[in-house]
């Protein structure tokens, strides 16, 4: 007999197979020997009380042989001689998963990536972190795997209605991810492991007859009679195709500008902008796990069987949402700019999440009216912006430029202690920080737009009431977290999924405004590829 059973265990009990079996046997009133094995279907941690618990749901095998978890199989076809070809602009999650889905459908994908492969990309990231030198085509946002490759590898999403989340997770396991991502409530691969998985995906695309070409920056679209026929690259190449998928990610501003210059319809889209806050991980552990100095495992130390604690916070301030974004326990703050003279920070964690700091974006929702007011205050004299679809992109860029100037160059970031920031006080000294290019004490109200600054100041104080110990000068604020999502939407028909003006042009993923993370971007890539396969 097989049965789905949910049980609540101490962390030490959940980590011991024999103990789990004994609890399963007790719940079913059978001998422990009757439990031949179990497969974990869901696992989460409940730390709301003084004692942290692990909730697990398992498929138990009772009085019958245990069967290992059956993984989804995939049928990738040889597309070398395929009649239909699709050009995909961008090798991020949307582009890669679109390519794999096309191959399953017998269609040849040609992926054009402006950046480098994951191995060569590492050298450019090292140069950025150590010497403050940026390659605009190869950085934390551009290159094989897109921004997701070096941005933590979080795989949880609220977008389950957009596609088959389970299929996406099984594809990651197929290409080398650990099976635990199939049942964890907040699955996470880790920046140190994602490159190998992305490389395996590229190998599959190439082995099946698809193509993934690096350092191929698309600079023009070939459009005849409102039908896209192909693309041109900066290297002088032209690629013809039956369809083109735009999967460029949220930071490809040149693509937005290209579309606008060609009078291809695009729209301004609300997004969120703010800062990244970093605490000692031990402090977050103490707050979230209610640790006591009298515990046997040591003063303020997290029990070894519990993962580094995370948090999720949200606060309404004067009608605006202020919320945590991309929280990285045991993580690192990284420079995520794509152009000289602009400062962007993001966070990531290795698979073990074993760094001494916890960081999270704390961001404020930004709308067109906010950006229009900001520019019309006299800080920039570019005329009227209200009807400009690039309005919010220009706002984003302007704040990033101010942050770069406040840091003093070489991607050194302006920073303040948390309580000092809330009180508009210059920090006389700064605590240790994981941000490798370095930090510089500055008044961030001179960097952030007034409405953002005041919203963040209020929210941090309120967060301190929700999480006792969070509001402290042990924490540091680093500016600016600005690439939360695309500030532009590229519209598409809800049925055909191609652009309403340009037939066979398929906007896709985060850059087009239809996704917000690795999994949702991957699902959107598959959705578009499936639609193309129907034609």
* Mean pLDDT calculated for residue range 58-62: 97
Predicted local distance difference test score (pLDDT) of residue 379: 43
Is pLDDT at 340 greater than 60 in this prediction? yes
pLDDT of 10 higher than 50: yes
Measuring CA to CA, which residue among 480, 511, 531 is closest to residue 250?
A: 511
Q: Which of 123-132, 355-364, 382-391, 406-415 has the lowest mean pLDDT?
A: 382-391
Q: What's the pLDDT score for residue 41?
A: 97
pLDDT(299) > 80: no
Q: Compute CA 35 distance to the chain's CA centroid, rounded to the nearest angstrom.
A: 40
Are 343 and 479 in contact by the 8 Å Cβ rule? The answer is: yes
Are the beta carbons of 240 and 229 closer than 8 angstroms?
A: yes
* Architecture of the domain delimited by 85-267+487-533: 3-Layer(bba) Sandwich (3.50)
Closest listed residue to residue 257, CA positions, set 271, 230, 248: 248
Other C-beta atoms within 10 Å of 346: how many? 26
The answer for residues whose C-beta is within 8 angstroms of residue 74's C-beta and 6 or more apart is 100, 104, 171, 174
Residue 161 pLDDT class (50, 70, 90 cuts): low
Q: Is the pLDDT of residue 324 over 70?
A: yes
Task: Tell me: pLDDT of 493 over 60.
Answer: yes
* Architecture per CATH, 2-62: 2-Layer Sandwich (3.30)
**Stretch 444-469: mean pLDDT:** 97
Percent of the chain having pLDDT more than 70?
95
Using a cut of 0.85, tell me whether the model's pTM lies above it. Answer: yes
**Is the pLDDT assigned to residue 378 strictly greater than 60?**
no
Going from N- to C-terminal start, the domains of the chain cover: 2-62, 85-267+487-533, 271-481
In this predicted structure, what is the pLDDT of residue 160? 60
Structure tokens at 107: 């269609």
How large is the average pLDDT for residues 39-63?
95
Beta strands at 271-280 and 357-366: parallel, antiparallel or unpaired: antiparallel
Tell me which residue has tokens 């809800």: 494
The reported pLDDT for the residue numbered 259 is 98
pLDDT bracket for residue 290 (50, 70, 90): confident
pLDDT at residue number 156? 74
Residue 417: Cβ within 10 Å count: 22
- Report the C-alpha gap between 279 and 433 in whole angstroms: 9
User: Phi and psi for 123 in degrees, rounded to 5?
Assistant: -65, -40
pLDDT bucket at 272, cuts 50 / 70 / 90: very high
The partner residues of 505 in beta bridges, in order of sequence, read: 244
The pLDDT > 90 percentage for the chain reads 86
Specify whether the CB–CB gap between 137 and 238 falls below 8 A: no
How far apart are the C-alpha atoms of 532 and 524, rounded to whole Å?
12
Q: How crowded is the C-beta side of 80, counted as CA atoms within 13 Å?
A: 6
Would you state the pLDDT for residue 501?
Answer: 97
Region 258-276: mean pLDDT is: 97
Q: Per-residue pLDDT tens for 177-199?
A: 999 999 999 888 888 889 999 99
Query: At residue 419, does pLDDT exceed 90?
Result: yes
pLDDT of residue 163: 77
What's residue 487's pLDDT?
Answer: 97
Residue 504 has pLDDT above 70, yes or no: yes
Over residues 456-467, the mean pLDDT reads: 97
pLDDT-based confidence at residue 477 (cuts at 50, 70, 90): very high
Give me the mean pLDDT over the 295-314 stretch.
76
Average pLDDT over the chain, rounded to an integer:
93
Q: Is residue 474 pLDDT above 60, yes or no?
A: yes
* 214-243 mean pLDDT: 97
Over range 292-306, report the average pLDDT: 61
**End-to-end Cα distance, the chain:** 46
CB burial of 68-77 (b: ≥16 within 10 Å; e: otherwise) equals eeeeeeeebe
């Amino acid at each position: 007999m097989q049965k789905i059973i949910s049980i609540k265990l101490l962390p030490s009990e959940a980590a011991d197979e024999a103990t789990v079996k004994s609890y399963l046997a007790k719940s079913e009133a059978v001998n422990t020997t009757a439990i031949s094995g179990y497969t974990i279907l869901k696992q989460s941690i409940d730390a709301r009380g003084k004692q942290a618990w692990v909730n697990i749901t398992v498929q138990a095998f009772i009085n019958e042989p245990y069967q290992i978890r059956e993984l989804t199989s995939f049928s990738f076809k040889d597309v070398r001689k395929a009649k239909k070809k699709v050009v995909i602009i961008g090798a991020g999650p949307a582009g890669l998963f679109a390519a794999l889905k096309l191959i399953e459908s017998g269609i040849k994908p040609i992926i054009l990536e402006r950046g480098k492969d994951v191995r060569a990309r590492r050298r450019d990231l090292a140069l950025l972190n150590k010497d403050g030198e940026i390659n605009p085509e190869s950085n934390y946002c551009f290159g094989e795997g897109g921004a997701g490759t070096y941005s933590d590898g979080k795989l949880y999403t609220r977008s389950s209605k957009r596609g088959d989340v389970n299929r996406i997770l099984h594809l990651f396991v197929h290409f080398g991810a650990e099976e635990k991502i199939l049942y964890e409530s907040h699955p996470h691969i880790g920046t140190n492991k994602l490159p190998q998985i992305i490389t395996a995906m590229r190998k599959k695309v190439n082995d099946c007859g698809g193509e993934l070409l690096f350092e191929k920056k698309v600079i023009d679209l070939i459009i005849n009679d409102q039908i896209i026929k192909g693309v041109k690259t900066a290297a002088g190449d032209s690629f013809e195709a039956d369809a083109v998928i735009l999967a460029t990610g949220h930071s490809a501003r040149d693509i937005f500008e290209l579309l606008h210059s060609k009078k291809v319809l695009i729209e301004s889209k609300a997004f969120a902008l703010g800062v990244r806050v970093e605490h000692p991980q031990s402090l977050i552990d103490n707050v979230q796990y209610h640790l006591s100095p009298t515990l046997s495992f040591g003063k303020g130390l997290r029990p070894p069987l519990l993962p580094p604690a995370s948090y999720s916070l949200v606060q309404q301030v004067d009608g605006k949402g202020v919320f945590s974004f991309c929280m990285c326990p045991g993580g690192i703050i990284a420079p995520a700019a794509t152009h000289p003279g602009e400062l962007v920070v993001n966070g990531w964690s290795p698979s073990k999440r074993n760094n001494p700091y916890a960081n999270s974006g704390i961001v404020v929702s930004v709308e067109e009216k906010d950006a229009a007011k900001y520019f019309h205050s006299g800080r920039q004299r570019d005329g009227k912006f209200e009807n400009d679809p690039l309005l919010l992109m220009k706002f984003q860029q302007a704040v990033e430029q101010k942050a770069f100037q406040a840091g003093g160059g070489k991607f050194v970031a302006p920073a303040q202690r948390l309580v000092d920031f809330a009180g508009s006080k210059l920090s006389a000294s700064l605590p240790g920080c994981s941000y490798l290019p370095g930090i510089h004490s500055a008044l961030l109200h001179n960097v952030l737009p007034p409405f953002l600054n005041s919203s963040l100041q209020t929210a941090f104080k309120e967060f301190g009431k929700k999480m006792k110990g969070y509001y402290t000068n042990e924490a540091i604020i680093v500016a600016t977290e600005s690439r939360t999502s695309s500030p532009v939407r590229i519209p598409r028909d809800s049925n055909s999924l191609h652009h309403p003006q340009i037939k066979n042009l398929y906007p896709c993923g985060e850059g087009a405004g239809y996704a917000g993370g690795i999994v949702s971007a991957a699902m959107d890539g598959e959705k578009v590829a499936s639609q193309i396969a129907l034609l």
